[in-house]
């Protein structure tokens, strides 16, 4: 083939990193409140009272072994393009070995920042198998051919099983329970290291290329990766997010830490990044899916030092993503929760308590309490007393997607087309993953859209997570906010002046007997449903060391919704697919704001308070999918089952499934027959808590 100069030109383009010669110009002649660790222009759009930036801190691309084998071919560059509003291709349900890519996806509303976080453990092998030229050592190995074909026995079409290939690849470097056994499926020594370096550099180059260092500040990227530890299927994954372009030579992976030991991860990140002499390296590790950690995500710290290291490296955790919510858990059939009576804790739950398939998942009475972030927040305060006052679980909250499609921020319920390539494509494959969802967004309150400004917002936990929509939520805690504050146009200034924002620590009461006051304001997403109510979730520790919680409705009110109303919402959503906006019924509020006092406050007991904002319900993605196939979850159970059977038979006749398979039966899951599932979804936001500790 004669590609000659074109290929050469492309190679040069791909290798070029823009030279950064522009020096920072100070904003409005003053020093910004955040430390500047990189050379860039300051932002034209700057607000000392901060702006909400919507983003994604958990996203996989074709550099992740599991995404690639599921025929995803969007690399980090494609992913960042998507975040900025570009179009990507997605594989068909029938895709194998990367084709055909018949679906497209595009964000109607771009996001403000994103980090691509590919699995770090197998980056080198991915480089060799999918990005190296022919003739490279290892490229023709069994594992590489598996990766490229999705066939367990490459060349044998019968053995096509992409998730099986991914499981084989993960067996040693990721899933092993301890430090024993071989680490690499196919490469070793210098060859492997060179490959690791090459792909890690490509990840950094993509982040650099798409980071807007001009004063336009349109889009921020972060260099990152996912630390993928899952001993015996218990999910201990963490996304590692770097502050700037000053990053370690290689990721610290589960292989580097010789097994699933987060404290080793922090120690190595301290040596190679935070404490590295003469460097501006800084880093966070963000745990996700505590709900699938088998109780291991938030263990009692070994000692004060471990507690302090966790608190330093992990200011945030994901409370929601495509593998469901980790906030809290309530089983409506058992009428029992995991240390909670909060009925809204049925929201988006997985059945299992670990990542791996489980024959016999624990019931609600035996579910590990610390799989749920709310319980860890409570326990952290109780543990602090024995750890020299260090709360090891002082987590702020964000959400993200964890999508493996290279589509950051792709969270609109009615536009959802799966997150795992060919195995999660519309409609039947997606329905086989019916408890998964489109995931959420991370929101940072920052002065400007730059790495330093957003990173510091993450560090100080001035963040919230949403289940995918874009409400604007403010939360302040102080001692003498006035009741009329919501009506004042300078309420945000007053909030900062008289207290602390979300993620902060409430000071000790100025006078004996003072009660803390909270100002919470929420503005709805104009492209989603209106707001139903705002809640404050309080957790505290009693004199006897027991943990307690209470949920207060502080603005708006609980409402009931008829099936007819929900159906109207579903129809509006279905009509909006492919349209720029959705026109939903106008029940609920545009804005809710209140100043609330904790009358139950005890100045001698530690407590936290976070805000949960609930929208009015919309149709869940699965309901829209089912209805498009003629199965209505809102129909009477018998009718729904009849429709499902008809859809199953039609799919079998069309050869999409085998006879006897019943993918559409999940369409008839409802509140009446499932402990958690709901065909309608109340989108929501969770803010980082504000903490109070006696004596400060």
Partner 1 sequence: MLPALIRAPVLHFVLLGGLLFLADTVWQNRTAAGHADAAGIPLSISASDIDQMRRDFFVQNRFPPTPEQLSAAVETAIEEEVLYRGALDAGLDRDNEAVRQRLVQLARFVSDDPDQDPEALYRIALDLGLDRSDLVVRRQLSMMMRLAAANTPMTGETPPDDAELEAYLRDNPEKFVRPRRVRITHVYFSEDTHGAAARRRADKVLRSLRDGRLGPDQAVEAGDPFLLGHHLPWRTSTELEIHFGPSFAEATDDLKPGTWSGPVRSGYGWHLIRIDDVEPASLPPLAEIRDRVLATVIADRREWRVRETVEQMRSQYRIEVEWPSPDRVSATGVRSDG
Subset of residues 515 to 544 that bind partner 1, contact rule: CB under 8 A: 521-527
Q: Is position 690 an interface residue for partner 1 (rule: CB under 8 A)? A: no
Residues from 88 through 127 that contact partner 1 (CB under 8 A)? 92, 96-97, 99-100, 102-103, 109-110, 119
- Bond from prior residue into 100 cis (ω within 30 degrees of 0): yes
Half-sphere exposure of 292 (CA within 13 A, CB side): 29
For residue 13, report the phi and psi dihedrals to the nearest 5 degrees: -60, -45
- Residue 302 or 654 having the CB closest to partner 1: 654
Q: Which residue from 57, 166, 316, 519 is in contact with partner 1, where contact means CB under 8 A?
A: 166
Asked if 664 interacts with partner 1 (CB under 8 A), we say no
Up-side HSE of residue 620: CA atoms within 13 Å toward CB? 26
Tell which one of 590, 600, 636, 637 touches partner 1 (CB under 8 A): 590
Give the contacts of 576 (CB within 8 A, at least 6 positions apart): 414, 582, 583
Residues pairing with 286 in the sheet: 239
Nearer to partner 1, 91 or 504 (CB): 91
Alpha-carbon distance values, 140 to 134, 145, 146, 290 (Å): 8, 6, 10, 38
- What are the residue ranges of helices labelled H in 48-185? 65-69, 76-83, 123-126, 142-149, 162-170
- Name the region of 263 (left: φ>0; alpha: ψ -120 to 50; beta: rest): alpha
Q: Residue 40 in contact with residue 22, Cβ under 8 Å?
A: yes
- Helices (DSSP H) in 34-184: which residue ranges? 65-69, 76-83, 123-126, 142-149, 162-170
Q: Kind and range of the H or E element at 465? A: strand 463-466
Binders of partner 1 in range 39-58 (CB under 8 A): 44-47, 49, 51-52, 54
Q: Which of 656, 662, 665, 671 binds partner 1 (CB under 8 A)?
A: 656
Q: Closest Cα to residue 576, out of 565, 564, 568? A: 568
Site for partner 1 in 146-165 (CB under 8 A): 155-158, 160-164
Q: Which of residues 241-280 bind partner 1 (CB under 8 A)?
A: none
Q: How far apart are CA 207 and CA 221, in angstroms?
A: 5
| Least spacing, CB of residue 58 vs partner 1, in Å | 12
474 lies in the site for partner 1, by CB under 8 A: yes
Q: Determine, following the binding rule CB under 8 A, whether residue 420 of this chain makes contact with partner 1.
A: yes
Contact window for partner 1 (CB under 8 A) among 227-235, 309-317, 372-380, 381-389 = 227-235
Which region among 273-281, 470-478, 495-503, 683-691 touches partner 1 (by CB under 8 A)?
A: 470-478
Contact stretch for partner 1 (CB under 8 A) within 38-46, 341-349, 511-519, 609-617 = 38-46
Residues 346-385 interacting with partner 1 (rule: CB under 8 A): 355, 357
Which residues within the stretch 203-222 sit at the binding site for partner 1 (CB under 8 A)? 216
CB of 21 to partner 1, least distance (A): 13
Residues 620-639, interacting with partner 1 (CB under 8 A): 624-625, 628-630
- 386 interacts with partner 1 by CB under 8 A: no
- Name the minimum Å distance from CB 416 to partner 1: 10
The percent helix, strand, coil of the chain (3-state, each to 5) is 30, 20, 50
Residue 538's φ and ψ, nearest 5 degrees, are -110, 135
How would you label 140-171 residue by residue, b for 16+ Cβ within 10 Å and e otherwise? ebebbbbbbbbbbebeeeeebbbeebbbbbbe
- CA distances in angstroms from 595 to 90, 186, 510, 525, listed in the order given: 46, 60, 19, 22
Out of 39, 178, 488, 542, point to the residue binding partner 1 (CB under 8 A).
488
Query: According to the binding rule CB under 8 A, does residue 572 interact with partner 1?
Result: no
487 is a site residue for partner 1 (CB under 8 A)? yes
Least Å distance, CB 261 to partner 1, is 19
Select from 21, 23, 489, 562 the one that contacts partner 1 (CB under 8 A).
489
Q: Report 56-85 residues binding partner 1 (CB under 8 A).
A: 66, 85
CB 358 within 8 A of CB 278: no
CB of 390 to partner 1, least distance (A): 31
Site for partner 1 in 425-464 (CB under 8 A): 425-427, 429, 432-433, 436
Q: Kindly identify the residues of this chain, within the stretch 274-333, that bind partner 1 according to CB under 8 A.
A: none
CB of 157: closest distance to partner 1 in angstroms?
A: 6
């Amino acid at each position: 083939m004669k590609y000659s100069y074109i290929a050469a030109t492309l190679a040069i383009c791909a290798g070029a990193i823009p030279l950064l010669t522009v020096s920072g110009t100070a904003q409005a002649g003053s020093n910004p409140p955040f430390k500047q660790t990189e050379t860039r222009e300051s932002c034209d759009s700057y607000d000392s009272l901060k702006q909400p930036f919507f983003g994604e801190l958990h996203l996989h691309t074709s550099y992740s072994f599991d995404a690639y084998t599921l025929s995803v071919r969007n690399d980090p560059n494609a992913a960042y393009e998507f975040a900025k509003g570009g179009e990507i291709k997605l594989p068909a349900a029938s895709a194998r070995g990367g084709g055909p890519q018949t679906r497209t996806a595009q964000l109607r509303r771009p996001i403000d920042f994103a980090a691509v976080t590919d699995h770090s453990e197998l980056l080198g092998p991915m480089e060799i198998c999918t990005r190296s030229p022919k003739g490279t050592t290892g490229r023709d190995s069994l594992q590489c051919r598996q990766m490229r074909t999705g066939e367990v026995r490459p060349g044998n079409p019968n053995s096509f099983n992409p998730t099986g290939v991914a499981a084989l690849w993960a067996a040693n470097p990721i899933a092993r329970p301890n430090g024993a056994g071989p680490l690499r499926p196919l490469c070793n020594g210098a060859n492997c290291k060179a490959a690791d370096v090459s792909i890690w550099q490509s990840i950094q180059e993509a982040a650099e290329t798409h980071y807007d260092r001009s004063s336009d500040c349109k889009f921020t990227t972060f260099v990152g990766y996912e630390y993928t530890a899952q001993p015996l299927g218990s999910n201990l994954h963490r996304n590692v997010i770097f502050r700037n372009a000053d990053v370690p030579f290689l990721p610290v992976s589960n292989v580097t830490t010789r097994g699933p030991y987060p404290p080793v991860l922090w120690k190595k990140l301290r040596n190679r990044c935070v404490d590295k002499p003469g460097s501006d390296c800084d880093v966070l590790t963000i745990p996700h899916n505590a709900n699938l950690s088998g109780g291991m995500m938030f263990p009692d710290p070994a000692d004060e030092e471990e507690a302090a290291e966790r608190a330093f490296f992990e200011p945030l955790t994901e409370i929601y993503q495509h593998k469901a919510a980790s906030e809290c858990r309530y089983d409506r059939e058992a009428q029992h929760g995991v240390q909670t009576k909060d009925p809204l804790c049925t929201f988006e739950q997985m059945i299992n308590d670990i990542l791996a398939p489980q024959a016999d998942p624990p019931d609600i009475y035996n579910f590990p309490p610390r799989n749920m972030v709310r319980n860890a927040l409570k326990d952290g305060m109780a543990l602090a007393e024995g750890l020299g006052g260090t709360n090891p679980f002082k987590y702020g909250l964000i959400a993200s997607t964890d999508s493996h499609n290279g589509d950051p921020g792709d969270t609109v319920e009615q536009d959802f087309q799966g997150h795992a390539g060919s195995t999660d494509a519309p409609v039947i494959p997606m329905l086989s993953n019916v408890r998964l969802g489109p995931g959420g967004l991370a929101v940072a309150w920052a002065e400007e859209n730059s790495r330093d400004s957003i990173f510091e917002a993450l560090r100080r936990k001035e963040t919230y997570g949403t289940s995918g929509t874009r409400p604007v939520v403010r939360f302040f805690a102080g001692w003498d906010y006035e009741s009329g504050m919501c009506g004042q146009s300078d309420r945000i200034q007053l909030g900062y002046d008289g207290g602390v924002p979300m993620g902060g620590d409430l000071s000790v009461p100025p006078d004996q007997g003072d009660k803390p006051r909270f100002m919470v304001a929420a503005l709805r997403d104009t492209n989603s449903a209106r707001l139903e109510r705002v809640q404050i979730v309080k957790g505290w520790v009693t004199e006897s060391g027991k943990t307690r919680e209470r949920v207060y409705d502080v603005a708006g009110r609980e409402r009931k919704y008829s099936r007819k109303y929900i159906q109207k919402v579903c129809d509006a959503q279905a009509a909006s697919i492919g349209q720029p906006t959705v026109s939903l019924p106008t029940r609920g509020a545009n804005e809710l704001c209140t100043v609330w006092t904790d009358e139950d406050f005890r100045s001698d007991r530690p407590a936290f308070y976070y805000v949960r904002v609930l929208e009015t319900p919309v149709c869940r993605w699965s309901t829209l999918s089912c209805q498009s196939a003629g199965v209505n979850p809102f129909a009477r159970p018998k009718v729904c089952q009849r429709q499902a059977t008809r859809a199953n038979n039609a799919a079998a006749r069309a050869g999409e499934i085998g006879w006897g398979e019943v993918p559409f039966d999940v369409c008839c899951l409802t509140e009446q027959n499932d402990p958690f599932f709901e065909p309608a979804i109340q989108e929501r936001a969770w803010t980082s808590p504000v903490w109070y500790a006696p004596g400060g």
